[in-house]
Structure 1
Amino acid sequence: MELINQIISSVNSFFWDFALLILLCGTGVFFTIRLKFVQIRKLGQGFKSVFGGFSLKGKAAGKDGMSSFQSLATAVAAQVGTGNLAGAATAIISGGPGAIFWMWISAFFGMATIFAEAVLGQKFKKTVNGEVTGGPVYYITSAFKGKFGKVLAGVFAVLLIFALGFIGNMVQSNSISDAFSTAFHIPPYVTGIVVALLVGIIFFGGVKRIAAVTEKIVPVMAFLYIIGAVIVIAFNYQHIGGAFKSIFVCAFAPSSVFGGVAGVTVQKAVRFGIARGLFSNEAGMGSTPHAHAIAKVKHPCEQGFVAMIGLFIDTFVILTLTALVILTSNLNLADYAGKGIALTQDAFGNLFGQVGYMFIAVCLLFFAFSTIIGWFFFGQTNIKYLFGQKGVKVYTLLVIVFVFIGSTLKVDLVWSLSDLFNGMMVIPNLLALLALSGVVAKLEKSYLPGPPKEKRKGKKKVSSK
């Protein structure tokens, strides 16, 4: 078992530390150039779309899809998980404060990638058995016709179901049980039963209940964590300047601050910053398009702009706040090798004492619980693609069982398999994105916000579609 785990870990290192970094970042740079820096030009449009449609109680979702905000909430529910609490900490421990700078860089280019994913999800969504559905499997089969496209879509669907629906959700439920065992001394199996029952109630409520829960829990959890983080940073205000200085200096010359002690190099800062950033925001992984595809919008680009804001919130707001909490708390990073979440907990505990540990436990509950919901939904879409409606009940019951097992059992092999499947499902998604880049560019060029406008010559109306 140990040998298998070592082999898979070696494969993961190649995937996440080399191959996927090049593929994911390269795709982001490509779309940034081809779409003429859409993440800058349309950032304001994205914020307007998100907060213009903000609601804790929107119209009920159904077979015709969700509102744009509900789709964003479902996507962000999946993006903002335990990685936002442990990811930034792990990046700092392994790559120094400079890793945060490279995390920002990967997120910047990732915004163009996630825009393309959302646009293609909208463009190629289908109505199956009277229900609107969409995701990478549909634009993969459109990008590659014939048997090859169907096989590639099938491979993606299977990988996502295992990576997120089963194994990934075990990881999330384990994070919840660990946090509550540490903060409240609650036995893991008790936490597992409660979480499994709660997610079961939501799962069996279908897309209507999933949308209703995520549109409430996502804004609340983000607000709760942001307030807590801002309080810690405010109390440590004298270290804010030093924190930003360490981020920028260590991005290019880590030895001048931490390298001589912790062995941090520029290569490590780049590697861990980009890898943790991409793993957290999921740009290019093919997960979030499932939610964005079923948004009820007039033009595919409208949801693309919204998707960019989801990534912005994940990385530039929540991950950055976590990094600043850690860096302003003046903790000795060398003491936390391999203990990402412990670093975040101690950073809050420094100010709030035991309450700080309880606060992180509650935040982990929100973050991981919402991710379970989002990942279940993504897996369910692919179950329907492979097996039809008849496979949904079996899938739902299996996910509930995996959630419970994950809360009570921690096996390194399971975690390594989760990383492996996550990495493998990126490849068919990126191939389709690049093959359909011309479609994305054409749609972005055709988008005109507001009512149709008249051309100066010929007085012809140009549709916003």
Structure 2
Amino acid sequence: MIDIVYILNQIDGVLYFPILIIVMAVAGLYFTLKTRGVQIRLFVESLRILFEPSGDESSVSSLQAMLVSTASRVGTGNIIGVSTAICLGGPGAVFWMWLMCIIGASSAFIESTLAQIFKRMDNDGNFYGGPAYYIEQGLKKPKIAALFCICLIATYALGFNLLCSYNLQSTFMDYSFYNPATTPMIIGAILAIITGYCLLGGGKRIIKVTNTIVPLMGVSYVIVSLIVILVNYYNIPAMFALIFQNAFDFQSIFAGFAGSCIVYGIKRGLFSNEAGVGSAPNASASATVSHPAKQGLVQTLSVYIDTLLLCTATALMCLSTGVARNAAVSGAPYVQSAIGSVFGTAGPIFITVAMVLFAFTTLLGNLYYVDNALIYLNRKNKPSKRFMNIFYVAAAFIVFIGAIIPMDAAWAMADITMGLMTLINLPACVSLGRIAVDCLKDYEKQKKEGKDPIFDATDIDIDTKMLDTWY
């Protein structure tokens, strides 16, 4: 009998090592050099831009577009993904997660700036766009643009939602009522029904409440993590020593590179912050800004919030407690044990509540990107209501399946589909990178002249026939 999980793991292993690790590292370093470290050099400027008004109350501001992309980035990966990386790859995975975050933030700048440059305007005056549009218009490759959309749908409607559902049900494993034979099915069915109800037009109140609560839960999660770390303050020096020692234990790393802290750090970091994947540009294109570089700069902050703040909170909270880590507890059990060492039985309950909220908004947020891809594939027209209803029912069924499949299968599916998106988006960004770099130079030139930068495409070397705006 064919072992599907084994095949998925083999594909996953080859895709990330050596292919994606090389592509991501080279692209990130290339963009960092070409922009002269824009993600670090203009960090303060990014903060300033974040709170600039759009100038029109009906349009999407930089902050609003950043919050949409951050909502997609922030989710179960910040908790379960980090735990899995540490348990399976070792504490050194945290260092490689940090490094790829800083390098990858330059990729986030390029892809979001390109999305702004090549954005389109609908009949109602709203902006839209993303990788499919800059691949079609900038590279003149509509077939590759369509392939990207197919990969995006596979990632966000299939891979990520399978994993999100699995991660949610896994938080119940430590409870006495958990029965491996029935509990995942019950949780999966409940989650699928609620998700389907909201997607089919109901549950607007549920969505509104969760969208209000989730930011508060994110802040609460960081505060709780800090409390756990401070309670275990005497372990902090040894904790950082362990992270760096394991990160540079090259004898151990190269003895099994595919399962090393480097690979797990990069894989889980990419899953969490999505820098270079091509998802965030779909949100970035919707913002109304005076210059494309502004949205590119703001999106670097979203990557930092996800990895340097939330992922780090999980990692340091777990490692500071010194609770046992191994493959058996990877995922929710490791995080719940860590927080439970300080808060007792209330700790695991807090994580479960956080995961329920994060997972639900992630499931719906993922399908926001899918809607954009379906519109592109339907010749830039919204598919019929009948088609969308069938699609939403299928999406809800996928949520149910995710709760009952093995952990390895869930992670492998998400990694593979996300990896395919990245392998299309990053080379496209490299090919079009000069345009984004010239855009950044124009922005900095105007800033030096004391102006609030306003972009005119004719000021840089670009064929304006490719554009729908900016000239």
TM > 0.5 between the two? yes
Q: Does 1:161 align with 2:156?
A: no
Contact 2:292 2:455 in 1 (8 A): no
TM-aligned CA deviation for residue 424 of structure 1? 1.3
- Determine helix, strand or coil for the equivalent of 1:216: helix
Which of 296, 300, 308 matches 1:304?
Answer: 296
CA distance in 2, matches of 1:218, 1:51: 21
What CA distance in whole angstroms lies between the structure 1 residues aligned with 2:206 and 2:445? 30
Letter in 2 for 1:31: F
Report if aligned partners of 2:83, 2:335 keep a CA contact under 8 Å in 1.
yes
Alignment partner of 2:77 out of 62, 83, 92: 83
- Equivalent AA in structure 1 for residue 131 of structure 2: P
Would you say 1:363 and 2:318 are equivalent positions? no
Task: Indicate conservation of the 8 Å contact 1:95/1:265, yes or no.
Answer: no
> Partner letter of residue 434 of structure 1?
V
Query: Out of 62, 67, 72, which is 1:73 matched to?
Result: 67
Q: Are 1:381 and 2:352 counterparts?
A: no
Separation of aligned partners in 1, 2:52 and 2:211: 14
Deviations 1:416-458 (A, max 9, x none): 3332222112111112101111111011111159989479xxx
Q: Look up the match of 2:246.
A: 250
- Which of the numbers 329, 332, 337 marks the counterpart of 1:341? 332
Contact 2:161/2:402, CA 8 A, preserved across alignment: yes
Check the 8 A contact 1:251/1:266 in 2, yes or no.
no
Aligned to 1:125: 119
Cα drift, residue 294 of structure 1: 0.7
Partner of 2:90: 96
Deviation at 1:13, TM superposition (A): 0.2
1:458 equivalent in structure 2 = none
1:140 to 135, 139, 146: 135
- 2-side partners of 1:41 and 1:268: how far apart? 31
Q: Which amino acid aligns with 1:349?
A: G
- Measured after TM superposition, the shift of residue 405 of structure 1 is 3.7
Residue 3, structure 1, aligned to residue 3, structure 2:
yes
Instruction: For 1:94 and 1:411, locate their aligned partners in 2 and report how far apart those are by CA, in whole Å.
Output: 13
Tell me: CA distance 1:464–1:452, structure 2 relative to 1, closer, same or farther (3 Å): farther
Name structure 2 gaps, 5 residues minimum: 457-471
Matches within 5 A, 1:23-422: 23-50=23-50, 66-128=60-122, 130=124, 131-145=126-140, 149-180=141-172, 182-183=174-175, 185=177, 187-200=183-196, 202-203=198-199, 216-253=212-249, 268-333=260-325, 335-337=326-328, 339-387=330-378, 388-389=381-382, 390=384, 391-410=387-406, 413=409, 415-422=411-418
Q: Counterpart of 2:107 in structure 1: which amino acid?
A: T
Name the structure 2 match of 1:424. 420
Deviation per residue, 1:325-384 (Å, 9 max, x gap): 111111233x44572332111111111222111111111112222221221111110001
Q: Residues 452 and 464 of structure 1 are in contact (CA less than 8 Å); yes or no, is this contact kept in structure 2?
A: no
For the 8 Å contact 2:446–2:453, the answer to whether it is kept is no
What residue is the counterpart of 2:464 in the other structure?
Answer: none
Mark the CA change 1:6 to 1:338 in structure 2 (over 3 Å): closer, same or farther. Answer: farther
How far is the alpha carbon of 1:29 from its aligned partner? 0.5
Determine the C-alpha separation between the residues in 1 that align with 2:401 and 2:102. Answer: 37
Q: 1:128 to 1:397 in 2, by over 3 A?
A: farther
Distance in 1, matches of 2:102 and 2:377, equals 34
- Deviates further, 369-378 or 124-133: 124-133
Looking at structure 2, the residues matched to 443 and 238 of structure 1 have their Cα atoms a distance apart, in angstroms, of: 48
Note the aligned Cα RMSD (angstroms).
3.3
How far apart, CA to CA, are the structure 2 residues paired with 1:252 and 1:432?
Answer: 32
**Counterpart residue identity of residue 170, structure 1:** L
Q: Distance in 2 between matches of 1:342 and 1:227?
A: 20
Q: Deviations over 1:192-235 (max 9, x none)?
A: 454345444554569x9999678635522320210111111111
TM (norm. structure 2) is 0.84
Deviation at 1:281, TM superposition (A): 1.1
Aligned length: 444
CA distance in 2, matches of 1:244, 1:282: 25
Change in 2 beyond 3 A, CA 1:17/1:217: farther
Give the whole-Å Cα distance in 1 for the aligned partners of 2:418 and 2:118.
Answer: 23
When structure 1 is superposed on structure 2, of 385-394 and 446-455 the one drifting more is 446-455
Deviation at 1:140, TM superposition (A): 0.8
Is the alpha carbon distance of 1:364 and 1:254 closer, same or farther for their aligned partners in structure 2, counting shifts above 3 Å? farther
Give the distance between the partners of 1:233 and 1:11, measured in 2 at CA: 37
